[in-house]
Chain A
Amino acid sequence: MNQPLPPNSFRQGPDARGRFGGFGGRFVAETLMPLILEVERAYEAARRDPEFLAEWRALLKDYVGRPSPLWFARRLTGHLGGAKVYFKREELNHTGAHKINAVLAQILLARRMGRRRIIAETGAGQHGVATATACALFGLKCVVYMGATDVERQQPNVFRMKLLGAEVRPVAAGAATLKDAMNEALRDWVANVHDTYYCIGTVAGPHPYPAMVRDFQCVIGEETREQILAAEGRLPDALVCAVGGGSSAMGLFHPFLDDPGVAMYGVEAAGRGLDTGEHAASLNRGRPGVLHGNRTYLLQDAHGQIREAHSISAGLDYPGIGPEHAWLHEIGRVQYVAATDDEALAAFQLCSRLEGIIPALESAHGLAQVIKLAPTMPKDGIIVLNLSGRGDKDIFTVAKHLGVAL
């Protein structure tokens, strides 16, 4: 296979058409096109506006609690017997995950655009909770679309969203998970253009969303860079993060993409196994196609129909991935590996016992890769894992899998 020549920088994308290499773009119906062009114009203006950025940074500090700590996981490191393992503790953020970073910025953007009604899609419920939270903070109406299957397995988050004043609309179409929720949110948006902003939770969707959400999540990687330099005096050897849509991973990876010494591992959900057909590993087992406004790797059949993804983790249960990840995969800058449901469950328990931190099942997929990787590296090696969310929401799912009745 011909390898494309590496670019001068991995951080220049996307181009004016919203493409990362051949991926990304704006594959939406004409009914949506004027809206996303408006979002693009508003975002281009906002990102250059010091007042906008200052307001967002202040919220991150005083409302979210940033910077999130970089934690040296001493006991886990000792247990694995290899490289030093650090956790970037996004799970300590207000609302319990990285999602709030980009949500607050998007809500500020929506206000600039004069939109008073916010819609969002959610899988695990973390993005829905973050959006409901920001809407409560700013007194905006919030409607969250959530697959009926996910509503079932993420009851605590559904209740949280309702407490925060959001309306949760279960979506029964398809497998009733994240992709179906996203279809429904897009339909809502077209029908309510005049007052509604669509707050997308990941680095997917039509341009400018993949670039915009990435930019807002880069605070993770920027902080990590400063913190690891302060702690170790050098950059890490490896970064690890779970990928569903891939916003937490883009946020961690992007500030390091031009540092050749930093290896990167995106961890897809292998579900019941990569060769069982029941997984969410679009890069490892999918092929390029177009869905939800962008060209990227998708789980699909031979006829181009989208296949249902499977993962124990609702946040990774999506048949696509952000287009920038698709590009980084093709050029080989990031290695995309996979962890099964069982590996994630084991990592979930190990982390709880050794570090006193109950990770989200999403983050446990990243941790499963750390468990494989750390022992292969020398003791002075450094790994940073993005601990993107806390596991409180998952204890019911985990208990069920462990055969424990709560």
Chain B
Amino acid sequence: MSRIAERFAALRREGRGALITFLEGYDPDPATSLAILRGLPGAGADLIEIGVPFTDPMADGPAIQRGGLRALKAGATLAGVLALVRDFRAEDAATPVVLMGYFNPILAYGVDRFCTDAAASGVDGLIVVDVPPEEADEIEPQAKASGLDLIRLVAPTTDEARLPRVLAATSGFVYYVSITGITGTRSASAEHLREAIPRLRRHTGLPLAVGFGIRTPEQAAEAVRVADGAVVGSALVDTIAASLDGNGRARPDTVRRVLDQVRGLAEAVRAVRREPAAG
């Protein structure tokens, strides 16, 4: 069983949803980024998404765009992010790590070599934002061969006719984009989730995570009342941004501020009790 499947199964037995954190790798610099990563499981992150910085992140809002630019300025590359994951894995063998990013850096690295190296570095799954199921043959065979889950986005605009095709191309979990828009710009209503998540459940047995519009502990709790996980990204990236000094450098409390925020989110997520299920 993959780390992702194992983690969701364990959470189901515990009767609670997952807190999934997103941060850009190398934001604001490699050392701070690694220190945050290493602190995330202890602060309550159940799964970790690491953004691979790209110059043209067309699905991302201003917060993550700026985080990506900070990371690029700090020297981020796909190879550098893989090294970050290896360093993280040296101390944590259980927490699933998902890389989220755009296709061009992977193409430049070489799709075959990337999938091999990602798996060897301890990556468990990939979200390649701009490779929809229609273009799946670009990376799916290589990802499968390396044992990497390909996690796909499902949007409110993904209609009933298209849904089966998207879900068939998904493994690990399903990432439900709870708003029509880019990351970090709007918040999904609880009402929308109560309608959308059961609709998805009718089509898939995979765990369902909700993201793009979750910023606060309350919203995270709201999400895991119906879904299996809540992804928080922009709000954490904003905290990094707010913690930097005038020259954009990390301050001594940057790591602590991000991890404190994660603790607050985790507490809210863990307070939501769900029907425990047999694993």
A contact set with B: CB distance below 8 Å: 17, 25-31, 33-35, 37, 173-174, 179-180, 183, 186-187, 190-194, 288-293, 298, 300, 302-306
Contact = CB atoms under 8 A, between A and B. Distances in A.
13 contacts: A27-B103, A27-B131, A28-B58, A30-B166, A33-B134, A34-B162, A174-B55, A180-B56, A191-B185, A193-B180, A292-B56, A304-B107, A306-B104
Interface residues of B, number: 41
Interface string B122-134: 0000000111101
Nearest to A31: B155
A306 B104 CA distance: 9
A30 B177 contact: yes
A120 to B, nearest CB: 16
B166 A29 contact: no
Contacts of B186: 191
A190 B55 contact: no
A31 B157 contact: yes
Given A27-B103, A191-B182, A304-B107, A34 B130 contact: no
Contacts of A191: 180-182, 185-186
B157 A300 contact: no
Given A30-B177, A298-B104, 12 more contacts: A28-B58, A29-B59, A29-B130, A30-B155, A31-B180, A34-B155, A34-B162, A190-B181, A193-B180, A304-B54, A306-B55, A306-B56
A173 B78 CA distance: 22
Given A183-B56, A193-B180, A304-B78, A26 B108 contact: no
A206 to B, nearest CB: 9
Contacts of A186: 58
Given A27-B130, A289-B107, A179 B59 contact: no
A190 B183 CA distance: 11
A174 B186 CA distance: 23
A262 B211 CA distance: 54
Nearest to B129: A29
B30 interface: no
Nearest to A298: B104
Interface centre among B56, B58, B77, B182 (most CB of A within 10 A): B58
Contact of B108 (A30, A193, A293, A302): A302
B39 interface: no
A303 B105 contact: yes
B209 interface: no
A179 B104 CA distance: 15
Contact of A30 (B58, B106, B154, B185): B154
Nearest to B62: A173
Where chain B touches its partner, the secondary structure class is loop
A174 B73 CA distance: 12
Contacts of B109: 303-304
Given A29-B130, A300-B104, A304-B107, A291 B56 contact: yes
Contacts of B180: 31, 190-194
A149 B253 CA distance: 36
Contacts of B195: none
B158 interface: yes
A26 B157 CA distance: 17
Interface in B133-160: 134-135, 152-155, 157-159
Contacts of B15: none
Contacts of B78: 303-304
B157 to A, nearest CB: 4
B11 interface: no
B212 to A, nearest CB: 9
Contacts of A29: 58-59, 129-130, 132, 153, 155
Given A29-B59, A34-B158, A34-B162, A173 B65 contact: yes
Nearest to A18: B134
Contacts of B182: 187, 190-191
B153 A305 contact: no
Nearest to B181: A191
Contact of B130 (A35, A290, A298): A290
B108 A31 contact: no
Interface centre among B54, B134, B158 (most CB of A within 10 A): B134
Interface string B44-67: 000000000011111101000100
Contacts of A25: 134-135
A288 to B, nearest CB: 8
